[in-house]
Structure 1
Amino acid sequence: MVADACLRRELGRVPYEPTWRRMQVFTDERGPDTPDELWVLEHPPVYTLGMAGKPEHLLCETAIPMVRIDRGGQITYHGPGQIVVYLLVDLRRRGLKVREMVNLMEQALIDTLADEGLAAERRAGAPGVYVGEAKIAALGLRVKNGCSYHGLALNVDMDLTPFTWINPCGYSGLQTTQLRDHGIGTDQVIVAERLVAHLERQLPPLRPGVAPA
Protein backbone atom coordinates (compact mmCIF):
# COMPACT_ATOMS: atom_id res chain seq x y z
CA MET A 1 0.00 0.00 0.00
CA VAL A 2 1.43 3.37 -1.01
CA ALA A 3 1.40 6.04 1.71
CA ASP A 4 -0.73 9.10 0.91
CA ALA A 5 2.12 11.48 1.70
CA CYS A 6 4.39 12.65 -1.10
CA LEU A 7 8.12 12.16 -0.91
CA ARG A 8 9.69 15.62 -0.80
CA ARG A 9 13.05 16.25 -2.44
CA GLU A 10 14.97 19.47 -1.79
CA LEU A 11 17.23 19.80 -4.83
CA GLY A 12 18.68 23.29 -4.32
CA ARG A 13 19.72 25.24 -7.42
CA VAL A 14 19.93 22.84 -10.34
CA PRO A 15 20.22 23.28 -14.13
CA TYR A 16 16.95 23.06 -16.01
CA GLU A 17 17.44 20.48 -18.75
CA PRO A 18 18.92 17.61 -16.68
CA THR A 19 16.15 18.11 -14.11
CA TRP A 20 13.49 17.96 -16.82
CA ARG A 21 15.03 14.76 -18.24
CA ARG A 22 15.09 13.28 -14.75
CA MET A 23 11.35 13.98 -14.41
CA GLN A 24 10.70 12.20 -17.69
CA VAL A 25 12.68 9.15 -16.62
CA PHE A 26 10.96 9.06 -13.23
CA THR A 27 7.53 9.20 -14.89
CA ASP A 28 8.40 6.54 -17.49
CA GLU A 29 9.80 4.14 -14.89
CA ARG A 30 7.30 4.60 -12.05
CA GLY A 31 5.04 1.69 -11.17
CA PRO A 32 1.78 1.09 -9.27
CA ASP A 33 3.51 1.42 -5.89
CA THR A 34 5.82 4.33 -6.68
CA PRO A 35 5.21 7.14 -4.16
CA ASP A 36 4.34 10.54 -5.54
CA GLU A 37 7.12 13.12 -5.22
CA LEU A 38 7.38 16.89 -4.85
CA TRP A 39 10.68 18.37 -6.01
CA VAL A 40 11.48 21.78 -4.49
CA LEU A 41 14.24 23.74 -6.21
CA GLU A 42 15.29 26.80 -8.16
CA HIS A 43 16.98 27.14 -11.52
CA PRO A 44 19.75 29.29 -12.96
CA PRO A 45 18.37 31.76 -15.53
CA VAL A 46 16.49 29.94 -18.31
CA TYR A 47 13.52 30.44 -20.60
CA THR A 48 11.27 27.46 -21.26
CA LEU A 49 8.91 27.20 -24.22
CA GLY A 50 5.92 24.83 -24.14
CA MET A 51 4.93 22.39 -26.89
CA ALA A 52 2.68 24.87 -28.69
CA GLY A 53 4.91 27.80 -27.78
CA LYS A 54 5.83 30.44 -30.34
CA PRO A 55 9.50 31.49 -30.37
CA GLU A 56 8.46 35.03 -31.33
CA HIS A 57 7.27 35.52 -27.76
CA LEU A 58 10.98 35.97 -26.99
CA LEU A 59 11.15 39.64 -27.90
CA CYS A 60 14.90 40.23 -28.14
CA GLU A 61 18.23 38.47 -28.26
CA THR A 62 19.56 37.50 -24.87
CA ALA A 63 22.29 35.35 -23.39
CA ILE A 64 19.68 33.43 -21.37
CA PRO A 65 19.19 29.98 -22.92
CA MET A 66 15.77 28.88 -24.13
CA VAL A 67 14.71 25.23 -23.86
CA ARG A 68 11.73 23.87 -25.80
CA ILE A 69 10.01 21.39 -23.52
CA ASP A 70 7.02 19.05 -23.29
CA ARG A 71 4.62 20.93 -21.02
CA GLY A 72 1.66 22.97 -22.13
CA GLY A 73 1.73 26.73 -22.36
CA GLN A 74 3.95 29.32 -23.95
CA ILE A 75 7.20 30.91 -22.75
CA THR A 76 8.18 31.63 -19.17
CA TYR A 77 11.31 32.47 -17.21
CA HIS A 78 12.98 30.72 -14.29
CA GLY A 79 15.80 32.18 -12.22
CA PRO A 80 17.31 32.47 -8.76
CA GLY A 81 14.91 33.82 -6.15
CA GLN A 82 11.97 31.86 -7.54
CA ILE A 83 10.48 28.79 -5.84
CA VAL A 84 9.88 25.94 -8.28
CA VAL A 85 7.89 22.87 -7.22
CA TYR A 86 7.58 19.94 -9.59
CA LEU A 87 4.64 17.65 -8.87
CA LEU A 88 5.23 14.05 -9.88
CA VAL A 89 1.79 12.74 -9.03
CA ASP A 90 -0.25 9.74 -10.15
CA LEU A 91 -3.51 11.55 -10.87
CA ARG A 92 -5.59 8.40 -11.27
CA ARG A 93 -4.62 7.02 -7.88
CA ARG A 94 -5.82 10.29 -6.35
CA GLY A 95 -8.96 10.56 -8.48
CA LEU A 96 -7.82 13.82 -10.08
CA LYS A 97 -8.51 15.21 -13.51
CA VAL A 98 -6.00 17.63 -15.03
CA ARG A 99 -8.21 20.69 -14.48
CA GLU A 100 -8.66 19.70 -10.83
CA MET A 101 -4.92 19.35 -10.46
CA VAL A 102 -4.39 22.84 -11.87
CA ASN A 103 -7.05 24.23 -9.53
CA LEU A 104 -5.46 22.72 -6.43
CA MET A 105 -2.04 24.05 -7.42
CA GLU A 106 -3.51 27.52 -7.82
CA GLN A 107 -5.33 27.23 -4.49
CA ALA A 108 -2.15 26.16 -2.69
CA LEU A 109 -0.41 29.25 -4.08
CA ILE A 110 -3.31 31.52 -3.10
CA ASP A 111 -3.28 30.08 0.43
CA THR A 112 0.49 30.50 0.70
CA LEU A 113 0.25 34.15 -0.31
CA ALA A 114 -2.64 34.65 2.12
CA ASP A 115 -0.29 33.45 4.88
CA GLU A 116 1.83 36.49 4.00
CA GLY A 117 -1.18 38.82 4.04
CA LEU A 118 -1.26 39.07 0.25
CA ALA A 119 -4.57 38.67 -1.61
CA ALA A 120 -4.14 36.71 -4.85
CA GLU A 121 -6.53 35.20 -7.35
CA ARG A 122 -6.78 32.91 -10.34
CA ARG A 123 -8.06 34.01 -13.76
CA ALA A 124 -10.34 32.01 -16.03
CA GLY A 125 -8.51 30.81 -19.12
CA ALA A 126 -5.11 32.02 -17.90
CA PRO A 127 -3.53 29.44 -15.55
CA GLY A 128 -1.43 30.95 -12.80
CA VAL A 129 -1.94 33.24 -9.83
CA TYR A 130 -2.21 37.02 -9.95
CA VAL A 131 -1.93 39.93 -7.53
CA GLY A 132 -3.90 42.77 -9.03
CA GLU A 133 -2.99 42.90 -12.71
CA ALA A 134 0.41 41.25 -12.28
CA LYS A 135 1.29 37.56 -12.41
CA ILE A 136 3.18 36.24 -9.38
CA ALA A 137 3.13 32.49 -10.11
CA ALA A 138 3.09 30.39 -13.28
CA LEU A 139 1.88 26.83 -13.84
CA GLY A 140 2.59 24.19 -16.44
CA LEU A 141 1.96 20.44 -16.48
CA ARG A 142 2.55 17.39 -18.62
CA VAL A 143 0.46 14.26 -18.01
CA LYS A 144 1.68 10.91 -19.31
CA ASN A 145 0.02 7.59 -18.53
CA GLY A 146 -2.11 9.35 -15.95
CA CYS A 147 0.90 10.83 -14.11
CA SER A 148 1.90 14.49 -13.94
CA TYR A 149 5.24 16.23 -14.03
CA HIS A 150 6.44 19.84 -14.33
CA GLY A 151 4.58 22.10 -11.88
CA LEU A 152 4.64 25.67 -10.60
CA ALA A 153 6.94 28.64 -10.05
CA LEU A 154 6.42 31.38 -7.45
CA ASN A 155 8.35 34.65 -7.71
CA VAL A 156 9.83 35.54 -4.31
CA ASP A 157 12.91 37.77 -4.54
CA MET A 158 14.42 37.77 -8.01
CA ASP A 159 15.48 39.96 -10.90
CA LEU A 160 12.27 40.34 -12.91
CA THR A 161 14.01 42.05 -15.86
CA PRO A 162 14.13 38.88 -18.01
CA PHE A 163 10.31 38.79 -17.95
CA THR A 164 10.33 42.10 -19.82
CA TRP A 165 12.15 40.42 -22.70
CA ILE A 166 9.28 37.99 -23.35
CA ASN A 167 5.52 37.93 -23.61
CA PRO A 168 5.07 35.99 -20.35
CA CYS A 169 2.94 32.89 -20.98
CA GLY A 170 2.20 34.35 -24.42
CA TYR A 171 0.47 37.52 -23.17
CA SER A 172 1.80 40.78 -24.58
CA GLY A 173 2.36 43.40 -21.90
CA LEU A 174 1.60 41.07 -19.00
CA GLN A 175 3.20 42.46 -15.85
CA THR A 176 4.96 40.22 -13.35
CA THR A 177 5.47 40.74 -9.64
CA GLN A 178 7.00 39.02 -6.63
CA LEU A 179 6.74 38.88 -2.86
CA ARG A 180 9.54 41.41 -2.39
CA ASP A 181 7.64 44.04 -4.41
CA HIS A 182 4.85 43.86 -1.83
CA GLY A 183 7.15 44.40 1.13
CA ILE A 184 7.27 40.72 2.06
CA GLY A 185 10.71 39.61 3.19
CA THR A 186 9.94 36.12 4.52
CA ASP A 187 12.84 33.76 3.92
CA GLN A 188 12.40 31.78 0.71
CA VAL A 189 12.90 28.48 2.56
CA ILE A 190 9.99 29.28 4.87
CA VAL A 191 7.74 30.27 1.95
CA ALA A 192 8.63 27.01 0.20
CA GLU A 193 7.80 25.01 3.32
CA ARG A 194 4.39 26.66 3.55
CA LEU A 195 3.71 26.14 -0.14
CA VAL A 196 4.55 22.44 -0.01
CA ALA A 197 2.38 22.02 3.10
CA HIS A 198 -0.56 23.63 1.29
CA LEU A 199 0.02 21.41 -1.76
CA GLU A 200 0.03 18.31 0.42
CA ARG A 201 -3.20 19.41 2.09
CA GLN A 202 -4.85 20.03 -1.27
CA LEU A 203 -3.92 16.65 -2.74
CA PRO A 204 -6.71 14.10 -2.14
CA PRO A 205 -5.84 10.74 -0.53
CA LEU A 206 -4.98 7.74 -2.64
CA ARG A 207 -7.84 5.58 -3.82
CA PRO A 208 -7.31 1.90 -2.96
CA GLY A 209 -6.89 -0.52 -5.82
CA VAL A 210 -6.26 2.09 -8.49
CA ALA A 211 -3.00 1.62 -10.39
CA PRO A 212 -1.64 3.48 -13.41
CA ALA A 213 -2.23 1.97 -16.82
Structure 2
Amino acid sequence: MKNVLILGASGSIATLVTRNLIEDSRVRLTLLVRNPDHLADDIRYDSRVTIVVADVVKDTAHLTAAMQGQDLVYANLYGANLKQQAQAVVSAMTTAKVTRIIWISANGIYNEIPGRYGQWNAQMLGSTLTAYAAGAKIIENSRLQYTLVRPAWFSDKDLVSYELTQKGQPFKGTEVSRQSVASYLSALILDPSQAINQSIGISEPHTDGSKPSFY
Protein backbone atom coordinates (compact mmCIF):
# COMPACT_ATOMS: atom_id res chain seq x y z
CA MET A 1 0.00 0.00 0.00
CA LYS A 2 1.29 3.46 -0.96
CA ASN A 3 0.24 6.33 1.30
CA VAL A 4 0.09 9.65 -0.57
CA LEU A 5 -0.57 13.10 0.89
CA ILE A 6 -1.79 15.74 -1.56
CA LEU A 7 -1.39 19.38 -0.52
CA GLY A 8 -3.64 21.91 -2.23
CA ALA A 9 -5.89 19.04 -3.20
CA SER A 10 -8.81 21.09 -4.49
CA GLY A 11 -6.83 22.49 -7.44
CA SER A 12 -7.69 21.45 -10.98
CA ILE A 13 -4.58 19.32 -11.56
CA ALA A 14 -4.73 17.76 -8.10
CA THR A 15 -8.37 16.85 -8.72
CA LEU A 16 -7.46 15.02 -11.92
CA VAL A 17 -4.57 13.24 -10.20
CA THR A 18 -6.85 12.18 -7.36
CA ARG A 19 -9.35 10.76 -9.82
CA ASN A 20 -6.56 8.90 -11.60
CA LEU A 21 -5.42 7.31 -8.35
CA ILE A 22 -8.61 6.85 -6.38
CA GLU A 23 -9.56 3.56 -7.99
CA ASP A 24 -6.07 2.08 -7.56
CA SER A 25 -6.12 -0.37 -4.66
CA ARG A 26 -2.38 0.20 -4.15
CA VAL A 27 -2.89 3.84 -3.13
CA ARG A 28 -4.32 5.38 0.03
CA LEU A 29 -4.98 9.13 -0.32
CA THR A 30 -4.95 11.92 2.24
CA LEU A 31 -6.06 15.31 0.92
CA LEU A 32 -5.10 18.50 2.73
CA VAL A 33 -7.22 21.55 1.92
CA ARG A 34 -8.15 24.83 3.54
CA ASN A 35 -11.78 24.50 2.47
CA PRO A 36 -13.18 20.99 1.92
CA ASP A 37 -16.23 22.47 0.17
CA HIS A 38 -13.92 23.22 -2.76
CA LEU A 39 -13.32 19.51 -3.32
CA ALA A 40 -15.40 17.83 -6.01
CA ASP A 41 -18.27 15.84 -4.50
CA ASP A 42 -17.13 12.54 -5.99
CA ILE A 43 -13.83 12.96 -4.16
CA ARG A 44 -15.08 14.65 -1.00
CA TYR A 45 -17.49 11.84 -0.14
CA ASP A 46 -15.36 8.88 -1.23
CA SER A 47 -14.77 6.49 1.66
CA ARG A 48 -11.23 5.76 0.46
CA VAL A 49 -10.14 9.37 0.92
CA THR A 50 -9.09 11.03 4.18
CA ILE A 51 -9.54 14.82 4.29
CA VAL A 52 -7.45 17.09 6.50
CA VAL A 53 -8.51 20.73 6.85
CA ALA A 54 -5.46 22.93 7.43
CA ASP A 55 -3.40 25.83 6.16
CA VAL A 56 0.16 24.77 5.25
CA VAL A 57 1.74 27.82 6.89
CA LYS A 58 -0.64 28.57 9.74
CA ASP A 59 -1.41 25.02 10.90
CA THR A 60 2.01 23.41 11.00
CA ALA A 61 1.02 20.95 13.73
CA HIS A 62 -1.84 19.63 11.59
CA LEU A 63 0.47 19.52 8.57
CA THR A 64 3.09 17.50 10.45
CA ALA A 65 0.43 15.14 11.80
CA ALA A 66 -0.90 14.59 8.28
CA MET A 67 2.63 13.66 7.17
CA GLN A 68 2.87 10.73 9.59
CA GLY A 69 3.04 7.41 7.78
CA GLN A 70 3.05 8.94 4.30
CA ASP A 71 5.27 7.52 1.58
CA LEU A 72 5.08 10.53 -0.71
CA VAL A 73 3.88 14.13 -0.69
CA TYR A 74 2.49 15.78 -3.81
CA ALA A 75 2.31 19.56 -3.34
CA ASN A 76 0.02 21.51 -5.64
CA LEU A 77 0.34 24.85 -3.83
CA TYR A 78 -0.08 28.41 -5.00
CA GLY A 79 0.19 31.93 -3.63
CA ALA A 80 2.45 34.88 -2.98
CA ASN A 81 3.90 33.09 0.07
CA LEU A 82 5.15 29.99 -1.73
CA LYS A 83 8.56 30.38 -0.09
CA GLN A 84 6.94 30.16 3.36
CA GLN A 85 4.76 27.27 2.25
CA ALA A 86 7.80 25.38 0.98
CA GLN A 87 9.66 26.01 4.22
CA ALA A 88 6.71 24.68 6.22
CA VAL A 89 6.42 21.58 4.04
CA VAL A 90 10.15 20.80 4.26
CA SER A 91 10.09 21.23 8.04
CA ALA A 92 7.03 19.01 8.47
CA MET A 93 8.42 16.31 6.18
CA THR A 94 11.74 16.34 8.03
CA THR A 95 9.97 16.00 11.39
CA ALA A 96 7.77 13.19 10.09
CA LYS A 97 10.73 11.49 8.35
CA VAL A 98 9.06 11.59 4.94
CA THR A 99 11.58 12.11 2.14
CA ARG A 100 9.83 11.98 -1.27
CA ILE A 101 8.05 15.04 -2.66
CA ILE A 102 6.62 16.09 -6.01
CA TRP A 103 6.38 19.89 -6.15
CA ILE A 104 4.47 21.79 -8.82
CA SER A 105 6.15 24.98 -9.98
CA ALA A 106 5.93 26.99 -13.21
CA ASN A 107 7.77 27.32 -16.50
CA GLY A 108 10.17 30.24 -16.50
CA ILE A 109 11.50 30.06 -12.93
CA TYR A 110 15.08 29.70 -14.23
CA ASN A 111 14.66 32.14 -17.13
CA GLU A 112 14.85 29.00 -19.26
CA ILE A 113 12.31 29.99 -21.92
CA PRO A 114 13.86 31.39 -25.10
CA GLY A 115 12.47 34.05 -27.38
CA ARG A 116 9.19 35.94 -27.36
CA TYR A 117 7.30 33.35 -25.34
CA GLY A 118 9.79 33.71 -22.50
CA GLN A 119 9.21 37.47 -22.47
CA TRP A 120 5.42 37.04 -22.66
CA ASN A 121 5.40 34.43 -19.89
CA ALA A 122 7.48 36.59 -17.54
CA GLN A 123 5.25 39.61 -18.19
CA MET A 124 2.03 37.64 -17.67
CA LEU A 125 3.14 35.90 -14.48
CA GLY A 126 5.00 38.85 -12.94
CA SER A 127 5.42 38.46 -9.17
CA THR A 128 3.74 35.05 -9.33
CA LEU A 129 6.79 33.75 -11.18
CA THR A 130 9.03 35.18 -8.47
CA ALA A 131 7.00 33.35 -5.83
CA TYR A 132 7.20 30.07 -7.74
CA ALA A 133 10.97 30.48 -8.09
CA ALA A 134 11.40 31.16 -4.37
CA GLY A 135 9.38 28.09 -3.42
CA ALA A 136 11.27 25.89 -5.87
CA LYS A 137 14.61 27.08 -4.49
CA ILE A 138 13.63 25.96 -0.98
CA ILE A 139 12.70 22.51 -2.24
CA GLU A 140 15.85 22.14 -4.34
CA ASN A 141 18.07 23.19 -1.44
CA SER A 142 16.42 20.77 0.98
CA ARG A 143 17.58 17.24 1.70
CA LEU A 144 14.35 15.80 0.33
CA GLN A 145 14.13 13.53 -2.69
CA TYR A 146 12.25 15.97 -4.88
CA THR A 147 10.83 16.22 -8.35
CA LEU A 148 9.96 19.73 -9.48
CA VAL A 149 7.44 19.87 -12.33
CA ARG A 150 7.30 23.05 -14.43
CA PRO A 151 4.24 23.04 -16.70
CA ALA A 152 3.55 25.35 -19.61
CA TRP A 153 0.21 27.18 -19.64
CA PHE A 154 -2.71 24.85 -19.01
CA SER A 155 -5.25 24.02 -21.70
CA ASP A 156 -8.49 22.04 -21.38
CA LYS A 157 -7.77 19.85 -24.41
CA ASP A 158 -9.08 16.32 -24.11
CA LEU A 159 -5.78 14.59 -24.78
CA VAL A 160 -2.65 13.24 -23.14
CA SER A 161 0.39 14.35 -25.14
CA TYR A 162 3.52 15.81 -23.62
CA GLU A 163 7.27 16.14 -23.86
CA LEU A 164 9.74 16.72 -21.05
CA THR A 165 12.80 18.91 -20.64
CA GLN A 166 15.38 18.95 -17.89
CA LYS A 167 16.71 21.87 -15.87
CA GLY A 168 19.46 23.47 -17.92
CA GLN A 169 17.68 22.80 -21.23
CA PRO A 170 15.61 25.43 -23.06
CA PHE A 171 11.91 25.00 -22.32
CA LYS A 172 9.85 23.72 -25.25
CA GLY A 173 6.29 24.66 -26.20
CA THR A 174 3.83 27.16 -24.78
CA GLU A 175 0.94 25.05 -23.48
CA VAL A 176 0.01 21.65 -22.12
CA SER A 177 -3.30 19.99 -21.30
CA ARG A 178 -4.27 19.50 -17.67
CA GLN A 179 -4.86 15.85 -18.46
CA SER A 180 -1.28 15.50 -19.69
CA VAL A 181 0.18 17.00 -16.53
CA ALA A 182 -2.08 14.85 -14.36
CA SER A 183 -1.08 11.74 -16.31
CA TYR A 184 2.62 12.46 -15.79
CA LEU A 185 2.15 13.22 -12.09
CA SER A 186 0.12 10.06 -11.57
CA ALA A 187 2.89 8.01 -13.18
CA LEU A 188 5.46 9.64 -10.88
CA ILE A 189 3.36 8.88 -7.82
CA LEU A 190 2.93 5.24 -8.80
CA ASP A 191 6.65 4.91 -9.56
CA PRO A 192 8.40 7.49 -7.37
CA SER A 193 11.84 6.15 -8.29
CA GLN A 194 11.62 8.31 -11.44
CA ALA A 195 13.14 11.80 -11.76
CA ILE A 196 14.57 12.04 -8.25
CA ASN A 197 16.24 15.41 -7.62
CA GLN A 198 15.27 16.60 -11.08
CA SER A 199 13.37 19.66 -12.30
CA ILE A 200 11.17 18.70 -15.22
CA GLY A 201 9.56 20.99 -17.78
CA ILE A 202 6.39 19.63 -19.38
CA SER A 203 4.61 20.89 -22.49
CA GLU A 204 2.60 19.67 -25.46
CA PRO A 205 4.77 18.91 -28.51
CA HIS A 206 4.62 21.28 -31.48
CA THR A 207 3.14 24.19 -29.52
CA ASP A 208 6.07 26.55 -29.98
CA GLY A 209 5.21 30.18 -30.54
CA SER A 210 5.07 33.58 -28.91
CA LYS A 211 2.21 32.60 -26.57
CA PRO A 212 -0.32 29.79 -26.02
CA SER A 213 -2.89 29.25 -28.78
CA PHE A 214 -5.79 30.27 -26.54
CA TYR A 215 -4.38 33.76 -25.93
TM-score, length-normalised on structure 2? 0.33
Determine which structure has the larger strand proportion and give its number. 1
TM-score, length-normalised on structure 1? 0.33
Determine which structure has the larger helix proportion and give its number. 2
